[in-house]
Structure 1
């Protein structure tokens, strides 16, 4: 009565219903069902999930797409900006053609006026992972939002959800502060309530400020008091004698032993390149995002929705925040701007993007589960290695030396070159190069008034 079939390379158990003549006693059916349920549950928890991350501009989206084609995979985006409809250029969102060729999840799921949290990502991504596995396909999680991936891999803190009454109370308590822009005063209110940790929040991150006050009011305890699964994993790793600073991949014995406690058999890869090459790539990418009014048109749309720079998750995103500031300055001058103002905006955009990449490198350098891969190596070689890693059952597969990316960025020569780094634009060099953009700014921002706002009405921005 028990038959087996293979789905997506995973052996599955199923019941063949017996005919009435051969039906077993009810007790045997009950025991068999319990045995099968337990067995399948254990197997499903250790199914393989691929995670691909890397700093902005490293090429992780393209790698994930090609990998999904080879492994019959589906992609789950771990990008905090790609969740928003209409924010296509600034988030380097996969094209519609790519999404038709390979299913992508957690892309275009929210309006920019809505907030998205790491806890919500954890729930959504874990659900999508299970659905993909049930279809017999391979989940490939890709993105550069470090906290999203950390919670996805290790689990989320066991923090209780606030009651509707407490949520309403917190919103009412902080509403006036947010309306008047009194961020520092609101932070001090929560500090006095018992959570000094809010002082480390990014300015105007009202969503997280409200959430931390909700936890404080619900439990009487600061959120920092709750156990974090990632910290427990690190502590266990260190107690087993592993030096995290010496772990360059997930191949170390202590790492493999402790990763068996995770819900899935994670194969994690971090795609990067030399910092100088990465910075040049980022600078050029920022320029490309300005072509055909790309990110400026999307940022104009955010302003027309009634959003202000840094007021919520979408308007806080790198690129959009700087572009919105640039357009607001132009609106104050009835649409007039100068090449100097434009290059100031472009420089801020590029610098913020490079700094974000630097923070990503620092964050993932402390994540022992990732194998670091050199993004400058041939794509075919990288794809072949990851496919082999996915198929490998021994757990001893190591990144070949030809593909290895050194985590260490303290080499004296590289440090000197980084200190001397200066942006050298490819597209925008002279004042004349930005004339078409300034014409667009004058045409679209010159007579802007609040009466033109389409608050919270969704229509995709026009790139024209």
Structure 2
């Protein structure tokens, strides 16, 4: 069974073209790892692979949700795992391609065992003094208390909340999860594309302009009322403002370009923290760095 290959990178870095080259070289099939490319309504705005690209090798989980269907990282994991298993069952390589860090993290490592917040418990904790919270926290979990800024009410409240909801010390849960993540890291194969800052900024500007002249405005105008996660896609709010006459086309383009560049910077920060991902540099105007990508993960595949 072939382990999946994760191909990550900021928006407009060239993930799709490199994925196609890898798929051809390694007998692979591409699995979407982008939160908004899951939706069928805005393929131009989300830079989903073209029909020509999809025809070169099998692509999975592109355009499979309608705008009214909610999705989060856990649901994405539940959708992607059987697709990956089916590809593996045929002896082919699943290549997970995307830039949605949290979705990819849930798929690669699974959800954290740390419980999410409970509104009723949080409301109760918020009525108590910080000294009272610190006293209970220190009693339940002295290890975590010793490494927590006890003057920070938010940190104390969250750690105490974890203790109370799980019935275990927060430190135990976090330490076990950290150890498990390191074990998973050692088994994963993944790369992230690194572009020079100026090159990526220029690529984002060019792509934004192309989107607006190639159907993105019409896609957004056709939406009744974006719901759930789709409304958060960069470009939806800006184009709606333009369609409604609140801003002109140039302002719309500038706003989308700026928001996309800011998002790309956050993506780069996320992927650099994932030390199991191997960086592959891609020079301006150069073809997809296939050899460098294959070399980076040769000992994991």
Inter-partner Cα distance in structure 1 for 2:37 and 2:15: 14
Q: Does residue 1:152 correspond to 2:118, yes or no? A: no
Give 1:388 deviation, angstroms: 4.2
- 1:164-191 per-residue CA deviation (whole Å, 9 max, x = no partner) reads xxxxxxxxxxxxxxxxxxxxxxxx9996
Inter-partner Cα distance in structure 2 for 1:51 and 1:152: 10
- 1:192–1:327 distance in 2 versus 1, CA, 3 Å: farther
- 1:56-112 per-residue CA deviation (whole Å, 9 max, x = no partner) reads 110011101111111110111110111111211111111122222211111111101
- 1:92-144 per-residue CA deviation (whole Å, 9 max, x = no partner) reads 11112222221111111110111111001111222211111111000100100
Inter-partner Cα distance in structure 2 for 1:365 and 1:221: 32
Any idea what SS the aligned residue of 2:248 has?
Answer: helix
Any idea what SS the aligned residue of 2:91 has?
Answer: coil
Give 1:227 deviation, angstroms: 9.4
Match 1:289 to one of 202, 206, 211 = 211
Q: How does 1:79-118 map to 2 (within 5 A)?
A: 79-118=34-73
Match 2:123 to one of 167, 188, 192 = 192
Any idea what SS the aligned residue of 2:4 has?
Answer: strand
RMSD: 3.4
C-alpha contact (below 8 Å) 1:286/1:349 kept by paired residues:
yes
Give 1:192 deviation, angstroms: 2.8
What residue in structure 1 maps to residue 145 of structure 2?
none
- 1:379-435 per-residue CA deviation (whole Å, 9 max, x = no partner) reads 36x212333455547x9xxxxxxxxxxxxxxxxxxxxxxxxxxxxxxxxxxxxxxxx
Any idea what SS the aligned residue of 2:203 has?
Answer: helix
C-alpha contact (below 8 Å) 1:52/1:142 kept by paired residues:
yes
Any idea what SS the aligned residue of 1:76 has?
Answer: strand
Give 1:48 deviation, angstroms: 2.4
- 1:300–1:50 distance in 2 versus 1, CA, 3 Å: same
Any idea what SS the aligned residue of 2:241 has?
Answer: helix
- Structure 1 stretches of 5 or more lacking a match? 1-9, 11-46, 162-187, 197-219, 238-257, 331-336, 396-464
Give 1:345 deviation, angstroms: 1.6
Match 1:272 to one of 174, 184, 194 = 194
Q: Does residue 1:375 correspond to 2:282, yes or no? A: yes
What residue in structure 1 maps to residue 5 of structure 2?
50
Name the TM-score, length of structure 1 as normaliser.
Answer: 0.51
- Structure 2 stretches of 5 or more lacking a match? 128-163
C-alpha contact (below 8 Å) 2:191/2:296 kept by paired residues:
no
Q: Does residue 1:131 correspond to 2:51, yes or no? A: no
- 1:133–1:55 distance in 2 versus 1, CA, 3 Å: same
Give 1:160 deviation, angstroms: 8.7
Question: Which fold has the larger relative contact order, with Cα–Cα distance below 8 Å and residues 6 or more apart in sequence?
Answer: 2
What residue in structure 1 maps to residue 263 of structure 2?
356
Give 1:236 deviation, angstroms: 3.5
Inter-partner Cα distance in structure 2 for 1:123 and 1:232: 26
- 1:14-58 per-residue CA deviation (whole Å, 9 max, x = no partner) reads xxxxxxxxxxxxxxxxxxxxxxxxxxxxxxxxx422111111110
- 1:286–1:234 distance in 2 versus 1, CA, 3 Å: farther
Inter-partner Cα distance in structure 2 for 1:50 and 1:367: 14
Give 1:235 deviation, angstroms: 3.8
Match 1:299 to one of 220, 228, 231 = 220
Give the number of aligned pairs: 262
Q: Does residue 1:323 correspond to 2:239, yes or no? A: yes
Inter-partner Cα distance in structure 1 for 2:7 and 2:176: 20
Q: How does 1:243-254 map to 2 (within 5 A)?
A: none
Any idea what SS the aligned residue of 1:290 has?
Answer: helix
C-alpha contact (below 8 Å) 1:157/1:227 kept by paired residues:
no
Give 1:159 deviation, angstroms: 7.6
Kindly name which structure, 1 or 2, has the bigger radius of gyration based on alpha carbons. 1
- 1:270–1:390 distance in 2 versus 1, CA, 3 Å: closer
Any idea what SS the aligned residue of 1:56 has?
Answer: coil
Inter-partner Cα distance in structure 1 for 2:114 and 2:100: 21
Inter-partner Cα distance in structure 1 for 2:114 and 2:266: 27
